[in-house]
Amino acid sequence: MKTNLDRRHFLRGTGALIALPALESIGFRRFASAASTVPAAPPKRCVFLSIGFGVTKETWFPDVTQAGTAYELSEGLSPLTRHQSDITVVQGCSNQYTHEAHWGSTFWLTGANRYSVPGQNMANSISADQVVAQHLGQDTRFSSIQLNAASLEGHGPGLSLAWDQRGKPVAGQDDPVQVFHKLFSPDDMPLQQRQAAIAENRSVLDAVLTQARRVQRGLSQTDTDKLDEYFQGIRDIETRLKKDEAWLDVPKAKAPLDEPEPGLKGKAEIEIMQDLIVAALQTDSTRVLSYRMPGQSLLQSLDLKPSAHNVSHYSPGDRMEASKLRDKAHSELLARLIDKLKATKEADGSSLFDHTAVAFGSNISSIHYLTNCPTVLTGGGANLKLGQHLVLPKDTPLCNVWLTMLQGLGINAERHGDSTGVVKELQA
């Protein structure tokens, strides 16, 4: 983590870093002594995992009559048995304004009214992960990291699960090898050249901003609104440039895993993405990640013949059996991620799991049904009440769950998307 103390400890000069000696008069020795005996409290973190085409509703959801802690995991969730006390399964949630049959993730984290802007085919708003990134991403090299599958089915429009504060899509990465290098490989370009590149980009921004301001007068309200959105985009780029500049001379963390093999697909791809998620959190390279998981390639890696789309349109027979096997594979993979988070220790002896909030699910329950969004919550990062099967009133906004998570992460949010309040049953 980059701290103010780090900045005080080093002076920049001719491209080198010069360490200051420990000066007792300004408290460095006292700080060092305290730090050596009392590890800093681990930061909170957050991970969102989304599937495209939903689940097999007949065998994935637990029995609605078994709400509470004394419930039996369903067939589809049975691989999570060893973690049952550390997960909460939520039923009853929906995204009120989601009307697209196979858009399993476009509005999953936003709950936006896609028809809120007249004349637009689609409108979105900020996603929950980006709200978290605004608060937890200030002290890490990457405010957030967005991961995609190499092939996407049933997820809908968007460049990842993430949407910025203007409702614009945030780019994601679908190659585990590239993600590895982004996180851990040193920059080959000399420091001075990287500084010059940032300065050049800032100069271009300044020129563009000056020209935009020249045409600002005399515009209609519609054009003024468009220009304001444009200015916000410029400000967002400037913010990213400032962050890049702040981390120019800070070496990347040492990789706690080997470089992935190229070309991994399906289950193997999900496993290596999980490993990269844990590594990114472990090294505090970022505290916020999202992952749009694959559909078709997962089925192929499980030797299942139906297409991901056809599996979503299941009926008793081969398609339904394939759908059920896919559900179990998802649960096995989620159980694997929980295992890894629990096995990764923090400096204070706690586990990464204790400080990471994880949400797994989809906008789609099954087929074309956009109600009862399948939702599994785990991890200790958001202070949620785990180990329960929660059956909420029908069509409870899914954003109520996200709002509860945001507040549990220490974010002072009054609402998110179409939320109507927190889910008190989730609060620990």
Mean pLDDT, the chain, whole residue set = 85
106 burial type by CB count under 10 A (0-12 exposed, 13-18 middle, 19+ buried): buried
pLDDT band for position 218 (50/70/90)? low
In terms of CATH architecture, what is 41-185+255-426?
A: 3-Layer(aba) Sandwich (3.40)
Reading phi first (left if > 0) and then psi (alpha if -120 to 50, else beta), residue 423 is in beta
Calculate the alpha carbon distances from 229 to 19, 165, 185, 208, 306 in Å: 43, 10, 35, 14, 44
Label the pairing between strands 145-148 and 375-378: unpaired
Per-residue DSSP letter, 50 = E
Q: How many residues does the chain have?
A: 428
Q: Which tokens belong to 162?
A: 């993430």
Identify which of 77-81, 93-97, 134-138, 303-307 has the greatest average pLDDT.
77-81
| C-alpha of 93 from chain center | 20
pLDDT digits (tens, 9 = 90+) for 107-144: 999 999 776 666 667 789 999 999 999 999 999 999 99
Q: Coil, helix or strand for 359?
A: strand
The whole model's pTM is what?
A: 0.83
Number of neighbours of residue 391 by Cβ within 10 angstroms: 22
Q: Which tokens belong to 202?
A: 């800032």
Q: Which tokens belong to 304?
A: 């299942």
Would you list the domain boundaries of the chain? 1-38, 41-185+255-426, 187-250
Residue 68's DSSP bridge partners are 389
pLDDT score of 96:
79
pLDDT score of 117:
64
